[in-house]
């Protein structure tokens, strides 16, 4: 997602427009992002502020699930929906493990772990729920949980 986000920012900034103002300062905006604008004492400062503003804009839009414009064929809205569906898968996995009496997840440096009677299971991050990886998680759980508890 990081490369896609960098590309999105790069291509968005390529569409930026900058205008000198009467007082010698600069105005910048990206037309497809309605309401986004910035000012700077120099053109370079205006460009830097516009990039920072764009990054904040994207962050807020993703946090609030607001729509972002498609840029150079990159649609962050589709990617957000994919990540949210994976987040739901992670939540379901954690819920099912809790039903098997695993303890609440512990987060260390953005990685989640769950414990079960002295055993530790790492929970894959949101983007890693393809079938093969999910099978590996189940195989690790199977090593930890007894047959009787699986039937519970």
Residue numbers of the domain that contains 144 = 84-151
Quick check: is 70 in a domain? Answer: no
Q: Is residue 76 classed exposed, middle or buried when 0-12, 13-18 and 19+ CB atoms within 10 A define those classes?
A: buried
Quick check: is 40 in a domain? Answer: yes
56 and 9 part of one domain: yes
0.95 surpassed by pTM: no
CATH classification of the domain holding 17: 3.30.160.250
What CA–CA distance (Å, rounded) separates 108 from 67?
Answer: 31
The residues, any chain, with a CB within 8 Å of residue 62's CB and separated by 6 or more, are: 68, 76, 80
10 and 48 part of one domain: yes
Among candidate residues 34, 64, 46, 149, the one with its CA nearest the CA of residue 100: 149
100 and 130 part of one domain: yes
Per-residue exposure over 86-125, b if at least 16 CB sit within 10 Å of its own CB, e if not? beeebeebbeebeeeebeebeeeeeebebebeeeebebbe
Token look-up 């996995």 returns 93
Structure confidence at residue 91 (pLDDT)? 76
Taking the CB of residue 127, how many other CB atoms lie within 10 A of it? 13
The tally of domains found in the chain comes to 2
Structure confidence at residue 71 (pLDDT)? 92
Quick check: is 104 in a domain? Answer: yes
How would you write the pLDDT of the chain (152 residues) with one tens digit per residue?
Answer: 447 778 889 999 999 999 999 999 999 999 999 889 999 999 999 999 999 999 888 888 877 778 899 999 888 776 555 445 555 667 777 877 787 788 888 888 777 888 888 888 887 765 555 555 556 666 666 676 665 554 44
91 and 57 part of one domain: no
Structure confidence at residue 103 (pLDDT)? 86
């Amino acid at each position: 997602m990081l490369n896609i986000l960098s590309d999105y920012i790069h291509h968005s900034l390529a569409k930026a427009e900058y205008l000198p103002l009467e007082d010698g300062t600069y105005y910048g905006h990206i037309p497809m992002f309605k309401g986004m604008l910035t000012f700077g004492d120099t053109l370079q400062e205006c460009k830097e502020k516009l990039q920072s503003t764009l990054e904040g804009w994207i962050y807020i839009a993703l946090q609030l699930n607001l729509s972002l414009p498609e840029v150079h064929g990159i649609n962050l809205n589709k990617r957000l929906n994919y990540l949210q569906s994976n987040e739901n898968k992670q939540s379901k996995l954690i819920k099912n493990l809790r039903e098997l009496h695993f303890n609440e997840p512990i987060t260390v440096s953005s990685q989640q772990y769950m414990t079960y009677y002295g055993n530790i299971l790492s929970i894959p991050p949101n983007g890693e729920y393809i079938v093969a990886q999910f099978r590996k998680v189940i195989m690790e759980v199977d090593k930890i949980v007894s047959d009787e508890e699986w039937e519970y």
